[in-house]
Structure 1
Amino acid sequence: MTDAVAGTSGAVTRGSVVRVGAATALSALCGYAVLYLAARDLEPAGFSVFGVFWGAFGLVSGAAFGLLQETTREVRTASRVRPYPPRQRTHPIRVGAAVGLGAAVLIAATSPLWATHVFTRDRVLSIALLAAGLAGFCLHTTLLGALAGINRWSEYGALMVADAVLRVTLAAATFVLGWGLGGYLWATVAGSIAWLLMLFTSPPVRGAARLLTPGTTATFLRGAGHSIAAAGASAVLVMGFPVLLKVTSGGDLGAAGGVVILAVTLTRAPLLVPLTAMQGNLIAHFVDQRSHRIRALAVPAALIAGLGAVGIVAAGAVGPWLLREAFGAEYQADGALLAWFTAAAVAIALLTLTGAAAVAAALHRAYAAGWLSATVASTLLLLIPQDLEVRTVVALLCGPLMGIALHLAALAKAP
């Protein structure tokens, strides 16, 4: 196990999807619970501050999912190229640790340049938690990728759940004990040590952490670099959107910003949380279906579109009532706005799907180009002279379409 990658025979099964789906559902509930507790405990303006940190950590940790993607692809394909020269091997966990440490140092060193524009309260704590949390999360995602590559879906799901449970546990303690904003900042990054707990308690996880992949570390880092760049761009639109919204708004978002951040987060989570959690399943599936990649997209794309249509109707019909009843009278948004936010979530979900197919096909440049173009387009659209709600809908709905087109064009041309 320490010298080569364990065999990865067999396609992604329905059982594996069910196991990861169950873990995703539990993780999503925990995520909703953290948001619920923070929104109930903090006034909208305070929730806006928390939401920006939540988004900032989502942005940097989302970029770390590039390590998951590359590790999954490398481990998944390794069994097809064995044996390989003993000197051309890479230890993904060590690479993940090095990337995490470097990223933490970079955040701390550059914080004087950007922190005052992002964090308005608890700035030193926010920077420290962001750096330390990212370092841990790089190991977390690399380990997830190794588990996905060898079909250890039960352990994959357990690691996801451990992350989510740690977050909600600390958030609940903050709510009960009255620790305020600082407690919710700690809760946001608490799951970054889940990988360490799993190493101590699970022999299969320790085995996955020892896996090696073919090729040099430089080769692995080149592929991971493209994946990290694209995952970072995707994280700007997905988890890091509150940060982007604040930067393009040129000031404090206030209560209105808190409502928009919460509404966007709630309407996209039912689609994007499962898709993000199941990146390992998707990439493994597309690697197995590499001979007809476009056709392999049809079923998951149809499923996303169908679920999205149901979500759009539900958001318009009961969304305003649910938002008001669950989070308080201060959180007001009309049904049409919530329906548009849900439609925008469908667009980003489809972009996530086509991106996973591009990674599986080793189309790293096309993958990165698709997400970067979508992010740039959305950023520019956020600058149009319209109300905050209108700018948000236009940016999140139209920007991803450019990235989807680039991904599909690259997949259609790939050999």
Structure 2
Amino acid sequence: MTWSAIYLIVGGMAGVQQEITRSAFPAAVPGSGRSAGTVARFVGAASVVAVVVVFGSAFLWGPAALGEDFAAVLPPILVATAAYTLVAVLSGVYYGARRWVSAAGMTVTDALLRVVLIVVVMLLGLSGPAYAWATALPFLGSVMLLWIVSGRRAMRDVDFDVDVSQLLRNSVSTVGAALGTGMMISGLPLLLGVASRGLPQMQLAALILILTLTRAPLVIPLLALQSYLVVTFRDHPSLALRRTLVWGAGLVGVTIVLALAGSFVGPWVIDLVYGPDYALSAALFGLIIASAGMTALLCLTGPAVLAAGRHRAYVAGWALSSIALVIGLFLVPAEVWATVAVICAAPVLGVGVHLAAILRRPRS
């Protein structure tokens, strides 16, 4: 649960990265960017606010979600919150400046450092809090390494289209949307564990397992490409509507194919690998894969709306979907079909909001 909690927070702070990506443009003359002061003031304000909010709210959700380890894992959670603010800003600068190699380097460095630390923790036989530190510290390590390698140079090569105050206001919207993203994706196991306690334990475990496995080919790639999509839509606004509709139609088609294939193959694979205790019906498999496709579609329409500067519509789509998900999970009967139906229907609401914004007349 600590991993899920950290990545729910990280998912929210990813909204900072999306706004930095949207607002950071390559400087007209390399090396002439005047972003250092803007970024420094923004990072200081954003990191302090994030840590205060997480610390203040942790006493409301932490004891129930994290149990007796709450006090021990709170410090690494706060470190992860502050460190990921730095990661989000520097990654956003890389994407906005189209420094794809550096952006990829941040992701790879963070992942490698985390694997190394987790392996060390496993070999030493340490407990849960050690895993929390192994999850949090790579954020700080990766941003320090990338800053030395290319961060300072990248900062001199970008300008922002807004000042610090507007950047902070816009980031409130994007962080709100990203919290919805985190709630619906990385935080979903945590949410299911709290809201669906009426489900039999094995059914809940099977549902979380299959949701995790089936979202990998659809949701995770779109989630990883959020900043790239923002830049793509931002830099080619005349093609944004067409690309959204064409790519969205393609995504729906892929989802239908995978849902049909998964309904035939999925139950057999799960039974073979995990045993009959994790068995779910073929039709349920298809619906779970459809839910992944709808969430992935929301991850496509969101960047198109944000790139157009429609922050209110962007956050409204994600907020409506996440609120519908939370309320639905608490209200529906403790039955696996009803739970999956809510997970499938919630993102459709947000897609509708985003499409309505995209189809509106472009701003002059």
* TM over 0.5, shorter chain: yes
Which of 8, 27, 52 is the aligned partner of 1:59? 8
C-alpha distance in structure 1 between counterparts of 2:27 and 2:361, whole Å: 21
Hey, what does 1:206 align to over in structure 2?
A: 152
Deviation at residue 254 of structure 1 after TM alignment: 4.8
Residue identity matched to 1:413: R
C-alpha distance in structure 2 between counterparts of 1:347 and 1:63, whole Å: 20
Same amino acid, percent of matched pairs: 31
Which of 381, 400, 406 is the aligned partner of 2:353? 406
Answer whether contact 1:60 1:235 (CA < 8 A) is retained: yes
What is the DSSP-based 3-state SS (H/G/I as helix, E as strand, rest coil) of the residue aligned with 1:382?
helix
Larger deviation, residues 347-356 vs 256-265: 256-265
Which of 222, 227, 249 is the aligned partner of 1:280? 227
Per-residue displacement from partner, 1:193-233 (whole Å, max 9, x unpaired)?
Answer: 22122223x1x333224544243210111111111111111
Which of 26, 41, 56 is the aligned partner of 1:109? 56
C-alpha distance in structure 2 between counterparts of 1:309 and 1:396, whole Å: 17
C-alpha distance in structure 2 between counterparts of 1:413 and 1:135, whole Å: 37
Residues 168, 369 of structure 1: alpha-carbon distance in 2 compared, 3 angstrom cutoff = same
Q: How many residues align?
A: 358
Per-residue displacement from partner, 1:128-169 (whole Å, max 9, x unpaired)?
Answer: 222211211111121111111111101111111112222222
Which of 116, 126, 142 is the aligned partner of 1:169? 116
Residues 340, 177 of structure 1: alpha-carbon distance in 2 compared, 3 angstrom cutoff = farther
What is the DSSP-based 3-state SS (H/G/I as helix, E as strand, rest coil) of the residue aligned with 1:383?
helix
- Superposed counterparts of 1:105-144, under 5 Å: 105-144=52-91
Larger deviation, residues 360-369 vs 206-215: 206-215
Residues 269, 54 of structure 1: alpha-carbon distance in 2 compared, 3 angstrom cutoff = farther
Answer whether contact 2:196 2:334 (CA < 8 A) is retained: no
Deviation at residue 186 of structure 1 after TM alignment: 3.5
Deviation at residue 305 of structure 1 after TM alignment: 2.4
- Superposed counterparts of 1:154-165, under 5 Å: 154-165=101-112
Residue identity matched to 1:401: V
Residues 264, 280 of structure 1: alpha-carbon distance in 2 compared, 3 angstrom cutoff = same
Answer whether contact 1:89 1:213 (CA < 8 A) is retained: no
Deviation at residue 271 of structure 1 after TM alignment: 1.8
C-alpha distance in structure 2 between counterparts of 1:55 and 1:334, whole Å: 27
Residues 246, 79 of structure 1: alpha-carbon distance in 2 compared, 3 angstrom cutoff = farther
Deviation at residue 255 of structure 1 after TM alignment: 4.9
Answer whether contact 1:76 1:284 (CA < 8 A) is retained: no
TM-score by length of 1: 0.77
Hey, what does 2:325 align to over in structure 1?
A: 378
Which of 162, 175, 196 is the aligned partner of 1:215? 162
What is the DSSP-based 3-state SS (H/G/I as helix, E as strand, rest coil) of the residue aligned with 1:76?
strand
C-alpha distance in structure 1 between counterparts of 2:155 and 2:277, whole Å: 47
Residues 380, 181 of structure 1: alpha-carbon distance in 2 compared, 3 angstrom cutoff = same
Larger deviation, residues 186-195 vs 322-331: 322-331
Answer whether contact 2:199 2:334 (CA < 8 A) is retained: no
TM-score by length of 2: 0.87
Hey, what does 1:68 align to over in structure 2?
A: 17
Answer whether contact 1:90 1:214 (CA < 8 A) is retained: no
Residue identity matched to 1:205: G
Which of 136, 145, 150 is the aligned partner of 1:197? 145
Answer whether contact 1:363 1:410 (CA < 8 A) is retained: yes
Per-residue displacement from partner, 1:348-394 (whole Å, max 9, x unpaired)?
Answer: 11111111001000000000111111111112221234235223311
Deviation at residue 274 of structure 1 after TM alignment: 1.4
Which of 243, 248, 255 is the aligned partner of 2:190? 243
Per-residue displacement from partner, 1:311-365 (whole Å, max 9, x unpaired)?
Answer: 3234333334444555677644444333322110100111111110010000000
What is the DSSP-based 3-state SS (H/G/I as helix, E as strand, rest coil) of the residue aligned with 1:300?
helix
Hey, what does 1:294 align to over in structure 2?
A: 241
What is the DSSP-based 3-state SS (H/G/I as helix, E as strand, rest coil) of the residue aligned with 1:414?
coil
Residues 152, 345 of structure 1: alpha-carbon distance in 2 compared, 3 angstrom cutoff = same
Residue identity matched to 2:144: L
Which of 301, 312, 329 is the aligned partner of 1:365? 312
What is the DSSP-based 3-state SS (H/G/I as helix, E as strand, rest coil) of the residue aligned with 2:67?
coil
Which of 278, 297, 303 is the aligned partner of 1:356? 303
Answer whether contact 1:140 1:192 (CA < 8 A) is retained: yes
Residue identity matched to 1:384: L
Gaps of 5+ in 1: 1-51
Hey, what does 1:263 align to over in structure 2?
A: 210
Per-residue displacement from partner, 1:25-64 (whole Å, max 9, x unpaired)?
Answer: xxxxxxxxxxxxxxxxxxxxxxxxxxx3332222211111
Answer whether contact 2:7 2:187 (CA < 8 A) is retained: yes
